[in-house]
Chain A
Amino acid sequence: MRYLPKSPADRQTMLRDIGAKSIDDLFAPIPPEYRLGRDLDVPRQMAESEIVDWFRQRSGENGSEFTSFLGAGAYCHYRPVIIDSLISRGEFLTAYTPYQAEVSQGTLQAIFEFQTMISELTGMEAANASMYDGSTATTEAVLMAMRLTGRRRVVVARSVHPEYREVLSTYAYPQSIPIREIAFDQHGRINPSELESAITPETACLLIQSPNFFGTIEDVAAIAEITRRRGVLLVVSIAEAVSLGIVEPPRQADVVALEAQSLGVPLGFGGPYCGVIATREQYVRQMPGRLVGQTIDRNGKRGFVLTLATREQHIRREKATSNICTNQALVALMASIFMTVYGKVGLRELAKQNLAKAAYACQQFSKCAKILFAPAPRFNEFVVQTKEDPHVVNSRLLGHKIIGGFPLKKFFPELGNAALWCCTETVTRSAIDTAVGMLAESEADEPATEAEEVAL
């Protein structure tokens, strides 16, 4: 086996030194009746070339070379080449969690820089070293708000990503945390009067997303005015991090939960991604997840360590702020490199291109279909309502190497034949024009019947 660095002679020598007759002696603690007396039924040992071939075939079945209008929590932005060059360095790729600071300063300083950049980007005072993904970061942010307030009720906007809400409900259920969902108005945004009535003295926090699941930017300042007056914390989830290049960050929030996938992380069929929580300085001791802090060594030299570990499971066990153990260090590093490449000016220009593409697409689509929630500001996503079922539309678009918008019927049946379209900087004008053209054709005709075969 090519990964094992021992010759048969080495093994014999080692067994002899140990004083074992054969390798079976070392497995004697396992009662014989449970030992597996056969080969595992898994693929036979394959050559590297065979493995590459197998995955190439799978890769081919996934249909590349499509132009995609999908967003909905996972965004296709261009990834600068140096991201993979740098994260492929074995010293980053194959290092463990930096508990031993003296031999982990590289990872630790990189995380400290990540925390700084995320703080700057979100307009918060501090950020953690990253979490599993946006959905779990959002859920952990809500649990954090409950610890901070000592209250148990949560109000959640229905315009938060449906899968994020499902994760929150999954975590909330065993702890019997009551969740009140509030509807969106005709602009796809939170309805302030419904918010007022949903908040009670037991409410710990309000969770919103901005840009929300429909791509609409919430009026965070106005919402924060309500939450502050009513004494509840405001948790803002952000799924499209590139928006922060041009959209004012939710500075009035108490906790921000960000999905950093947009910042240089491959789509990768949904993961690994990179969640992160940012908050005010006064709240960091209730923040879950790893944190890197600056300190000095015995000679007064600057260095970095994992800090505030007394919040964490390996010290506090069942009294920890969370059971979380890992962060997503290597994915956070991708995000750090992406943010460094684009930087202060580039992030704004990148976001501006997204804004322009979506604005153009929206304008074009509005000629043949209805744009829902149109008056509210948006970043790079918008909802198109058609006469025809979007699955049918998409099925036709696929033939032209275009993946259409995400049909919303599964999550929001009340919106009818609506789909969520996303235009990042990678979408060309000609792809937009083609998609609009095909939509216009079908919208002019009679609506397709249910009998027509649906690709999904």
Chain B
Amino acid sequence: MKRMTRKATRHVSQNEGLIFEKSSPGKAAWRLPPLDVPEANPASLLGQAEREDLGNMPEVSEVEIIRHFTRLSTWNYAIDLGMYPLGSCTMKYNPRVNEAVNRLEGVANVHPYQPEKISQGALAIMKTLSECLIEITGMDAITLQPAAGAHGELTGLLLVRAFLESKGRPRQKILIPDSAHGTNPATAATVGYAVENLKSNSAGMVDVAALAAQMNEEVAALMLTNPNTLGIFEKEIHTIADILHSKGGLLYMDGANMNALVAKVRPGDFGVDLMHLNLHKTFSTPHGGGGPGSGPVAVKRALEPFLPRPVIVTKANGTLGFDYDRPQAVGRVRAFYGNFGMFTRALAYIMANGPDGLRQTTEDAVLNANYIRKGLQGAYDLPYPTASMHEVVFSDKLQAKKGVRTMDLAKRLIDYGFHPYTTAFPLIVAGALMIEPTESESKEELDLFIEAMRSIAEEVEEDPTAVREAPHSTRVSRLDEVAAARKPVLRWKKASNS
């Protein structure tokens, strides 16, 4: 590595094998209290259903477990270490008070079926969050049940289907822009709809004329992300909504990019009929290495009767409760009420911000993205010069001439102490670099990022091979993904001695 980075320095990290490789009979990290009832005889209680052996489950001591997982943790990049510029992922700071309130005894240990009389606190948390999210989105009603964004999409399209069925028939198609997330078409297929692609115009927005031409009475809904995956606000959103509505279709908004809008504009005010939110993006609940998420779906009044069972209601005596008597409901999309632990965190985040904090957050997110855009212009190709909101998409067009692609640039960024941006998405940009800084980055961190990216652009000119072989400073170099997929090894096995 020829260039020095100001952001990071190499340091020693511990090696660590698989937990199974540390296991040996007789080691233990557990102790149960003495049994206060007579011992059970499994053979007589279970007969043939008794299990004799637990295979290769590990046997280790407590200190080994602490070291094992702590060592593994040090091999991860994380928000707590620095900027995580993944476009469309909204990797913002995860406040610790959110974790603290979620671990309060009466929050963490509530059984979902305990009597409502002694669940009023949990219900109040759900009710308060629901009210906040309805206000933030400008919608009329909400379900918190979906467990993630894609699950919210699924719920949304089930609502679309149920609504249209109540009007006569569910229709056949969902329109999806070519810039959309892969979950959108996958969801449409899951809900039994055919997918029709909608081309973007040269400014990177929905081609309104094309939409008008494609819209007909077979189209159930348009799934639109706004701002879209190029970070561009769909200016003609209301015309888009009108086109849909004029032929009886619905406008579904994918709320993945809501971080650009909160407290500045409300989807319910610009013609959206229903949308999902990602609490793990916009509302700061931690990503946890890939989940859990939470994907509430907010709707306009006409769709409310179809929301999944149960919904929260205030009873005649003033207490909160669940209403299961919802004859038009689409059913339910998961057991119980959703990822409640994410509700507490999202609500704590909203309370910490208040109306002024939420607005400043959105402004800073958009400011940061535009600052990066300005800082990298010239060094990287900007395929769509339309104004950016909370994220900006460059392409690797200039670097590709030297045989360096977006993934290579991203991997080189690791050596500079940053997590890569989102690569090769959206699909309408060849070799995309999709960058979303969020509001959580200081000017200093952004300057370091810009410096790193500009430095990499220079390296591409000087020594493209070094960039192509990056990262150079990580525990492992680039991994053979082709081999992993060709002959999958999905678990450790004793026999293989691996």
Residue among A28, A62, A340 making CB contact with B60, cutoff 8 Å: A340
Q: How far is the CA of A113 from the CA of B492 in the complex (A)?
A: 7
Chain A residues, Cβ within 8 Å of B166: none
Known: A299-B477, A337-B65. A74 touches B111 (CB 8 A): yes
In the bound complex, do residue B411 and residue A27 qualify as a contact, i.e. CB atoms below 8 Å apart?
A: no
Q: How far is the CA of A178 from the CA of B91 in the complex (A)?
A: 42
Q: Is B219 an interface residue (CB 8 A)?
A: no
Chain A residues, Cβ within 8 Å of B153: 323
Residues of A40-57 contacting chain B, CB below 8 A: 40-46, 48, 50-52, 54-57
Nearest B-chain residue to A116, judged by Cβ: B491
Residue among A1, A135, A305, A377 making CB contact with B479, cutoff 8 Å: A305
Q: Is A200 an interface residue (CB 8 A)?
A: no
Residues of B380-434 contacting chain A, CB below 8 A: 386-387, 389, 410-411, 414, 419-420, 425
Known: A266-B341, A269-B336, A377-B47. A1 touches B357 (CB 8 A): yes
Chain A residues, Cβ within 8 Å of B360: 1, 4
Q: How far is the CA of A318 from the CA of B371 in the complex (A)?
A: 36
Stretch at the interface among A158-166, A225-233, A439-447: A158-166
Nearest B-chain residue to A13, judged by Cβ: B443
Other A-B contacts than A112-B490, A247-B49, 12 sampled, CB-CB below 8 A, are A4-B360, A26-B370, A90-B79, A93-B94, A106-B71, A134-B335, A268-B107, A268-B108, A272-B342, A308-B485, A330-B291, A343-B28
Q: How far is the CA of A186 from the CA of B471 in the complex (A)?
A: 64
In the bound complex, do residue B110 and residue A269 qualify as a contact, i.e. CB atoms below 8 Å apart?
A: yes
Chain A residues, Cβ within 8 Å of B247: none
Nearest A-chain residue to B441, judged by Cβ: A5
Q: Is B488 an interface residue (CB 8 A)?
A: yes
Q: Is B59 an interface residue (CB 8 A)?
A: yes
Known: A1-B356, A36-B264, A113-B18. A92 touches B479 (CB 8 A): no
Q: How far is the CA of A299 from the CA of B471 in the complex (A)?
A: 13
Residue among A174, A340, A348 making CB contact with B54, cutoff 8 Å: A348
In the bound complex, do residue B81 and residue A132 qualify as a contact, i.e. CB atoms below 8 Å apart?
A: no
Q: How far is the CA of A171 from the CA of B47 in the complex (A)?
A: 37
CB distance from B36 to the nearest CB of A (A): 4
Q: Is B213 an interface residue (CB 8 A)?
A: no
In the bound complex, do residue B37 and residue A356 qualify as a contact, i.e. CB atoms below 8 Å apart?
A: yes
In the bound complex, do residue A68 and residue B114 qualify as a contact, i.e. CB atoms below 8 Å apart?
A: yes
CB distance from A146 to the nearest CB of B (A): 12
Known: A325-B149, A326-B148. A107 touches B183 (CB 8 A): no
Q: Is B275 an interface residue (CB 8 A)?
A: no
In the bound complex, do residue B182 and residue A307 qualify as a contact, i.e. CB atoms below 8 Å apart?
A: no
Stretch at the interface among A148-156, A286-294, A366-374: A286-294
Binary per-residue interface labels of chain A (335-367) against chain B in the complex, 1 for a CB within 8 Å, 0 otherwise: 001011111111111101101110110000000
In the bound complex, do residue A303 and residue B476 qualify as a contact, i.e. CB atoms below 8 Å apart?
A: yes
Known: A330-B286, A337-B65. A100 touches B35 (CB 8 A): no
In the bound complex, do residue B488 and residue A346 qualify as a contact, i.e. CB atoms below 8 Å apart?
A: no
In the bound complex, do residue B28 and residue A72 qualify as a contact, i.e. CB atoms below 8 Å apart?
A: no
Known: A26-B370, A34-B265. A246 touches B478 (CB 8 A): no
Chain B residues, Cβ within 8 Å of A456: 115-117
Q: How far is the CA of A124 from the CA of B179 in the complex (A)?
A: 39
24 contacts between A and B (CB under 8 A): A27-B264, A27-B363, A31-B270, A45-B357, A51-B351, A55-B107, A59-B121, A102-B414, A109-B75, A113-B18, A117-B57, A121-B57, A126-B488, A169-B331, A170-B158, A175-B191, A271-B338, A318-B185, A323-B153, A325-B183, A326-B149, A326-B150, A328-B290, A456-B116
Nearest A-chain residue to B31, judged by Cβ: A346
Known: A100-B420, A247-B49. A272 touches B341 (CB 8 A): yes
Chain A residues, Cβ within 8 Å of B471: 102-103
CB distance from A6 to the nearest CB of B (A): 6
In the bound complex, do residue A323 and residue B183 qualify as a contact, i.e. CB atoms below 8 Å apart?
A: yes
Chain A residues, Cβ within 8 Å of B355: 39-42, 44-45
Residue among A54, A107, A126, A136 making CB contact with B76, cutoff 8 Å: A107
In the bound complex, do residue B265 and residue A36 qualify as a contact, i.e. CB atoms below 8 Å apart?
A: yes
Q: How far is the CA of A387 from the CA of B359 in the complex (A)?
A: 59
Q: Is A451 an interface residue (CB 8 A)?
A: no
Among A63, A70, A93, A328, max chain B CB count under 10 A is at A93
Chain A residues, Cβ within 8 Å of B440: 3-5
In the bound complex, do residue A337 and residue B54 qualify as a contact, i.e. CB atoms below 8 Å apart?
A: no
Known: A42-B358, A102-B414, A455-B117. A95 touches B186 (CB 8 A): no
In the bound complex, do residue A29 and residue B371 qualify as a contact, i.e. CB atoms below 8 Å apart?
A: no
Q: Is B209 an interface residue (CB 8 A)?
A: no
Residues of A95-117 contacting chain B, CB below 8 A: 95-98, 100-107, 109-113, 115-117
CB distance from A30 to the nearest CB of B (A): 5
Q: Is B269 an interface residue (CB 8 A)?
A: yes
Residue among B124, B290, B338 making CB contact with A97, cutoff 8 Å: B290
Q: How far is the CA of A136 from the CA of B292 in the complex (A)?
A: 14
Stretch at the interface among A80-88, A191-199, A201-209: A80-88
Residue among B46, B287, B348, B354 making CB contact with A44, cutoff 8 Å: B354
Chain A residues, Cβ within 8 Å of B318: none
Q: How far is the CA of A29 from the CA of B42 in the complex (A)?
A: 69
In the bound complex, do residue A268 and residue B76 qualify as a contact, i.e. CB atoms below 8 Å apart?
A: no
Q: How far is the CA of A86 from the CA of B65 in the complex (A)?
A: 9
Q: Is A215 an interface residue (CB 8 A)?
A: no
Binary per-residue interface labels of chain A (225-249) against chain B in the complex, 1 for a CB within 8 Å, 0 otherwise: 0000000000000000000111111
In the bound complex, do residue A80 and residue B111 qualify as a contact, i.e. CB atoms below 8 Å apart?
A: no
CB distance from B285 to the nearest CB of A (A): 10
Known: A97-B287, A307-B481, A327-B291. A247 touches B46 (CB 8 A): yes
Residue among A48, A101, A116, A298 making CB contact with B492, cutoff 8 Å: A116
Nearest B-chain residue to A456, judged by Cβ: B115
Binary per-residue interface labels of chain B (158-192) against chain A in the complex, 1 for a CB within 8 Å, 0 otherwise: 10010000000010000000000111011111111
Q: How far is the CA of A51 from the CA of B104 in the complex (A)?
A: 12
Residue among B94, B117, B342 making CB contact with A398, cutoff 8 Å: B117
Q: Is A448 an interface residue (CB 8 A)?
A: no
Residue among A45, A174, A304, A339 making CB contact with B57, cutoff 8 Å: A339
In the bound complex, do residue B269 and residue A103 qualify as a contact, i.e. CB atoms below 8 Å apart?
A: no
Nearest A-chain residue to B338, judged by Cβ: A271
In the bound complex, do residue B419 and residue A132 qualify as a contact, i.e. CB atoms below 8 Å apart?
A: no
Nearest B-chain residue to A59, judged by Cβ: B106
Among B42, B374, B469, max chain A CB count under 10 A is at B42
In the bound complex, do residue A1 and residue B72 qualify as a contact, i.e. CB atoms below 8 Å apart?
A: no
Q: Is A89 an interface residue (CB 8 A)?
A: yes
In the bound complex, do residue B132 and residue A43 qualify as a contact, i.e. CB atoms below 8 Å apart?
A: yes
CB distance from A185 to the nearest CB of B (A): 17
Q: Is B497 an interface residue (CB 8 A)?
A: no
Q: Is A129 an interface residue (CB 8 A)?
A: yes
Chain B residues, Cβ within 8 Å of A63: 106, 114, 118-119
Among B79, B238, B439, B479, max chain A CB count under 10 A is at B479
Q: Is B147 an interface residue (CB 8 A)?
A: yes
In the bound complex, do residue A317 and residue B185 qualify as a contact, i.e. CB atoms below 8 Å apart?
A: yes
Chain B residues, Cβ within 8 Å of A246: 42, 46, 50-51
